[in-house]
Amino acid sequence: MVTALIGFVALLALCFIGFRVGFATLIVGFVGFGLERGWHASLGMVGQQIMEDSMNYNLSVIPLFILMGVFVYRSDVSSDLYDAAYAALGRFKGGLALATVLACGGFSAVCGSTLATAATMSKVAMPQMKAFNYSDKLAAGTIAAGGTLGIMIPPSVPLVIYGIIAEQDIGLLFMAGVLPGLLLVVLFLLAVSAVVYRDPSAAPPSDPLPPSRRKAAIRGTLPVLILFLVVLGGIYGGVFTATEASGIGAFGAAVIALSRGYLRKLYEWKICLVETAITTSKIFIVLFGAVVFAQFINLSGLPYDILDFVEHHEMTALQLVGFIIAIAIVMGMVFESIGILVLLVPVFLPTLFAAQVDMIWFGIIVVLVTEIGLITPPIGMNAFVVKSVLPEVKLGDIFCGVTPYLVALVIGLTLVFFLPGIATFLPDLMR
């Protein structure tokens, strides 16, 4: 265990001095394994692990879903989604903020990226809320928190990564994320209503959407809704696998982009493909570093020491998961979502399997915890993304504005923790 703890300290040190998580885990895993078994063995292990994982067919789902998200993002469908959401909720108090939450949920469902959702909705929703004198706290906080929905509502890259690490069916994980994702949308809408009820001046009344604009928004969002239903419906109905769904989703998103006037020039295709390649390579580096680091951790015996600790204290499955949640929340204040997954899950896998924890349910729990980390100081990634797009808004106002949504996320986590059926109901129907 001491060796593993030294490895974690070295990993944190490398991250704090500026190393990316993927390179930091790769270096610590390589050096740690080399010190334990020799440098020749360490070189062989690194080469073998990277080769085996790079040949994993399931990994193809990542670039294809990323490409799908890039096509949707570049086709500027976010404005129509926002208008459609406002048409549905604009008559209520805080209608623009309510529409922002709903639009974030819809956009993240096809984009799959929390940072892209936060950045995009900052440009789309903030000018509207500014025009009607919404408070910066409510407006920026809603955008930052709404962006977190991108890693729960499928297709979700973190769920794909968790499925690969924990060797779980990605299709089942996608279906497991549907009801918790909808639950979070409802809780976020209630959070907006609570804020507006407490401080009506934070969300002054706004004008209704003109009929022509409302019709245009509905027409613009209909293809996206159909694409979402085809991708998830095909997985749920067993028509195709998650990997096949990613290809269909990417193709459908390209058709939508073409119909909206994008991807009609060669350089536009180049922009999308290069952006997808860069994002995919970043994720793959993290994954490859994680598998190397996991080999070092397994060699150190830490997972089995944790298993002995759990057995010695006679911890139940719920107590074990609660213990992991506490660690993940602390990690969420420092690491981004993928970093938490690749560092935490491999360490506790043997213990979770031994405790017979439902790994589909646990995957949703972990993603919920990482959502909390995305808007929790000091390193709330979504808050910093909103700040970068809206430099005039104070960072303190953003973190203050996300507080009601942090409460909503904790409530959602508590409900899924004590009522696992919220996450397992749809997957159980598929089994």
pLDDT tens, residue order, the chain (431 aa): 677 788 888 887 887 787 887 888 889 889 988 888 888 888 888 888 888 877 777 778 888 888 888 888 788 777 787 788 888 777 788 888 898 898 888 887 777 667 777 877 788 788 888 888 888 899 899 988 888 887 788 878 888 888 888 888 888 998 999 999 999 999 999 999 999 988 888 888 877 777 777 788 778 788 888 888 888 888 877 788 878 888 898 898 899 889 888 888 889 999 989 988 888 888 888 888 888 888 888 888 777 777 777 777 778 888 889 988 888 887 776 676 777 787 788 888 888 888 889 999 999 999 898 888 888 877 777 888 888 888 888 888 888 989 999 999 999 999 999 999 999 998 988 76
Flag whether 376 is in a domain.
Answer: yes
Tell the burial category of 252 from Cβ atoms under 10 Å away from its Cβ (0-12, 13-18, 19+). Answer: buried
- Bin 201: left if φ > 0, else alpha if -120 < ψ < 50, else beta: alpha
Flag whether 13 is in a domain.
Answer: no
Flag whether 162 is in a domain.
Answer: yes
- Under DSSP, is residue 134 helix (H, G, I), strand (E, B) or coil? coil
8-state DSSP, 58: G
Tokens of 273: 């493909």
Q: For residue 230, what pLDDT is reported?
A: 86
CB contact at 8 A, 172 and 360: yes
378: CB partners within 8 A, 6+ apart:
333
CB contact at 8 A, 337 and 159: no
Q: For residue 431, what pLDDT is reported?
A: 65
Which of 222, 253, 267 minimizes the C-alpha distance to 73? 253
Flag whether 28 is in a domain.
Answer: no
Which of 191, 144, 106 minimizes the C-alpha distance to 408? 191
**pTM reported for the whole predicted model:** 0.85
Domain count, the chain: 1
CA distance 360 to 370: 16
Q: For residue 183, what pLDDT is reported?
A: 94
User: In this structure, which amino acid lies at residue 134?
Assistant: Y
Tell the burial category of 214 from Cβ atoms under 10 Å away from its Cβ (0-12, 13-18, 19+). Answer: middle
Flag whether 189 is in a domain.
Answer: yes
Flag whether 275 is in a domain.
Answer: yes
Q: For residue 72, what pLDDT is reported?
A: 82
Domain carrying residue 274: 58-430
8-state DSSP, 265: S
Flag whether 252 is in a domain.
Answer: yes
